[in-house]
Amino acid sequence: MKIGILAAGITPDVLQVNYPSYADMFVQQLTYIEPTLAFEIYDVRLDEFPQSAASCDGWLITGSKCNSYDDDPWILRLCDFIREIDSNKQTLVGICFGHQIIARALGGTVIKSPAGWGVGVHHYQVTSDIPTLPGATDIAFCAFHQDQVIEKPKKLNVFLRSDFCEFAGFIYQDRILTFQGHPEFSKEYESDLVELYAGVTLTPEIADKARITIKEENIQNKQLMSWIAHFLKNKPQSSDM
């Protein structure tokens, strides 16, 4: 099965010596979990788009430092492409920016949140079943965002929430799965990202709090990445009927 990765962002330059790009993080981790998946990467920031949604069997949109509510030509084109994927009833996964842009494209609202930056390890309440974490009511994984969805599309159901982020995870049947946080991030990468932006975009207080959570909290990123791999592998069986 061929999965198209719509790369909306890239690992900061100074971290590329030790870490892969965001798109390659997914390729490496998902291939390890599910070797039958093949990937094609499209740098949509540079207006590199597939000919059509039919070019791949399923799709994944990465995180980005860009704002999903902006009207840059490539962002508007990505919204159109998301709607094409949805119309085709193909599988679609969105991470952080991907979560937000999918919500926007399907009728939701995204803003720069007055709650400020959410970084470090965040805990989320699980409001519907996660197949790779049966029975879980609380999960934790890395987050790094300031923007948030404040109005969800009608068709998407919430499966993760927290006091900081009301709409932290969306799902629609077996076709759309999104996370505001970053299940692809290791704690090592999250730590280096915090150090990179501490005192720049992150206040000392926010950075210190993030450091504590990274040191003390366990994360369930492996189970979430396993869910993403299986979600992408399985062709949708449901319809909108």
Helix, strand, coil fractions of the chain, as percent rounded to 5: 35, 25, 40
**Please, what is the average pLDDT of the chain?**
96
> Is there a domain that residue 173 lies in?
yes
At 236 the pLDDT is 79
At 241 the pLDDT is 37
> Is there a domain that residue 133 lies in?
no
Task: Tell me, yes or no, if 184 is annotated catalytic.
Answer: yes
The residue-averaged pLDDT of 73-93 equals: 98
Of 63, 67, 55, 52, nearest in space to 22 by CA: 63
pLDDT at position 239 over 60:
no
At 238 the pLDDT is 55
Residue of 99, 122, 145, 182 with catalytic role: 182
pLDDT at position 68 over 90:
yes
pLDDT at position 199 over 70:
yes
> Is there a domain that residue 162 lies in?
yes
Domain count, the chain: 1
At 161 the pLDDT is 98
> Is there a domain that residue 201 lies in?
no
At 234 the pLDDT is 87
The residue-averaged pLDDT of 76-102 equals: 98
Domain that holds residue 101: 2-109+148-186+220-233
Residue of 56, 145, 184, 190 with catalytic role: 184
Residue of 96, 99, 122, 145 with catalytic role: 96
SS (H, E, C) 188-231: HHHHHHHHHHECCCECHHHHHHHHHHHHHCCCCHHHHHHHHHHH
User: The pTM is what?
Assistant: 0.96
> Is there a domain that residue 177 lies in?
yes
> Is there a domain that residue 125 lies in?
no
pLDDT at position 3 over 70:
yes
State the CATH number of the domain containing residue 156.
3.40.50.880
> Is there a domain that residue 159 lies in?
yes
The residue-averaged pLDDT of 107-119 equals: 97
> Is there a domain that residue 40 lies in?
yes
Q: pLDDT tens-digit profile of 5-45?
A: 999 999 999 999 999 999 999 999 999 999 999 999 999 99
